[in-house]
Amino acid sequence: MEASSSTSHDPALFHAPLLHHPRRRSSRPLKGFAVIFGSVVFLLSLVILIVNQSPEPLASNPSSVTEAGSYSMAAQPRGIAEGVSAKSNPSLFDKVGFNWTNAMFYWQRTAYHFQPQKNWMNDPDGPLYHKGWYHLFYQYNPDSAIWGNITWGHAVSKDLIHWFYLPLAMVPDQWYDINGCWTGSATLLPDGRIVMLYTGSTNESVQVQNLAYPANLSDPLLLQWLKYPGNPVVVPPTGIEDNEFRDPTTAWLGPDGSWRITVGTRFNTTIGTALVFQTTNFSDYQLLDGVLHAVPGTGMWECVDFYPVAINGSVGLDTTALGPGIKHVLKASLDDTKVDHYAIGTYDMITDKWTPDNPEEDVGIGLKVDYGRYYASKTFFDQSKQRRILYGWVNETDTEADDLEKGWASIQTIPRSVLYDNKTGTHLLQWPVEEVESLRLNATVFKDVVVEAGSVVPLDIGTATQLDILAEFEIETLVSNSTEDEVSDCGDGAVVRNTYGPFGVLVIADDSLSELTPIYFRPLNISNGSLETYFCADETRSSKAPDVTKRVYGGKVPVLDDENYNMRVLVDHSVVESFGEGGRTVITSRVYPTEAIYGAARLFLFNNASGVNVKATLKIWEMNSAFIRPFPFEETLFQEMVAST
């Protein structure tokens, strides 16, 4: 059925400061698709969701005031003195606080991204699939919305989208982890056992690696975890700093029948390094000669990840997979820059050395997992669907005082499937797991919408706070040749005009375009006459509030000769996840608008190029909210479901 257009507006009333041109008239959708959910069970579940998704009361107790005050006086980011990466935003100390309202804070909470009911969260830990349930553990402060007292939170899901909170999995209660149960990884053994290795900060703030395991493997929820009495199982080797040795990986089985893990560290304060330890029983470890890999100038490597990918395949691989037709991905979270980098290369299983395919794109100096606000990512192999799944932590970019008022901080990205990009041979492809599509409601299609150079086109879809957007663009050149001196990056944002761009969508925007977040392509001329394309996100006008970080993010994205420019954008209140060219380049943004919220949030197309018109085709779904709530232990139906798993 034909979707109706919105009421016409006088273009003179809508000056577009992004482009310094009036907006074009509204574009009408070609067709609307309605998804009918008639199930009584669904309606009942929706009521439960609404009740359980109500936010925690905003903090107003004296302890919050004290913590906020200590924030403003802090000399360095929280976490640095304790030996971990920064967990606060000191760059905002000199900013005047914005007068946020409760309604604004309420809107910022996401609807279908995982986050705890309240308080602080950071790195994903030990993700795994067991007896029909996906398990996510995460760094968590049960006492406050700021980093500290780090325990392991725990949640389970049947589909990676709808989650149940479970009791804490591990708390810092032993000398070897009393200052924090930090990041770790799970390994599923062939006999069905599960071993969990994690970093503990000892009573003397030494970083050691510890072993834990489920108390009852027959329990599908894995509610109780036991710490190995002989912990720690690995201590910092000679020459390694006591507070720069953390985050053990999932283990893989070598051809000699022994297991290996990698732990991140650094040498001489600047050389990022991945050490390799060998074990046969997960309680005794031997440091192997040399290193898996090291890159000068990259600093401390946190949250190292190491896993295989199939060169010609559409499924993921178990971490132990070796042999022909397989490349290995080495990823590190750089403490110095707070960026996750990866490289694709070859693993020698005899020497336990990894070599990048392209040394100029080595770990820490080349490709990023995500070019936006994103850190501490971790993958696991989902044996139920033969895929590799990626999680990533997305922190807040406002102040700690604001987080204390909200009562929560940080989210996890939508889980992403990861594959080798055999078309380029140089990139990974990241894509939201297919299960997120179950949240799609009514769809609206716009076909062949012409966006002229220097114009903005409203897309009449109503409220645009929770969306899944698929967009494809073709460019029509208006000039025979470009002689512009074009800088090869995302520039200073979407306001910078070049011959071929930028063009894309404006998300979380208000009608007057006083707040907006452009997600866009920026094709640029290079010396041989071809185009080099960047995929970007511009947060600089995402909020009128001065006390939030607002940056231009992005990176180069290959666009092959047989491809149009395409993007997928997931919008969920204060987070925007953008996937360029099938996921070759990915950007996560945090936005905190003051006006483009609730019913005022809108979606636009824009083209700020000077020499091309753009033709756009889009399919846009409104997204339902996910069910994320405490596990209903008291409900007989769920008890029976767990027992039958």
Give the active site residues: 123
Cβ pair 2, 32 in contact under 8 A: yes
Q: What is the dihedral of CA 96, 100, 105, 106, to 10 degrees?
A: -170
What is the residue type of 131?
K
Cα 89 from chain centroid? 18
* DSSP-assigned states of every residue in 31-44: EEE------HHHHH
| C-alpha to C-alpha distances, 351 to 275, 290, 359, nearest whole angstrom | 13, 9, 19
DSSP 89: -
Q: CB within 8 A of 355, min separation 6: which ones?
A: 293, 345, 346, 348
As a whole number of angstroms, the distance between CA 584 and CA 568 comes to 11
What is the residue type of 588?
T
* DSSP-assigned states of every residue in 484-502: ----SS-TTSTT---SS--
For 388, half-sphere exposure in the C-beta direction (CA atoms, 13 angstrom radius) is: 27
As a whole number of angstroms, the distance between CA 494 and CA 42 comes to 41
What is the residue type of 517?
T
Class of residue 88 by CB neighbours under 10 A (exposed 0-12, middle 13-18, buried 19+): buried
As a whole number of angstroms, the distance between CA 44 and CA 642 comes to 21
Cβ pair 196, 213 in contact under 8 A: yes
Largest CA distance in the chain: 74
Q: How many residues in total does the chain contain? A: 645
Element (H, E) at 399: none
| C-alpha to C-alpha distances, 353 to 127, 244, 288, 368, nearest whole angstrom | 26, 21, 10, 22
C-alpha gyration radius of the chain: 24
Cβ pair 459, 27 in contact under 8 A: yes
Quickly tell me which residue has 């511009």 as its tokens.
Answer: 538
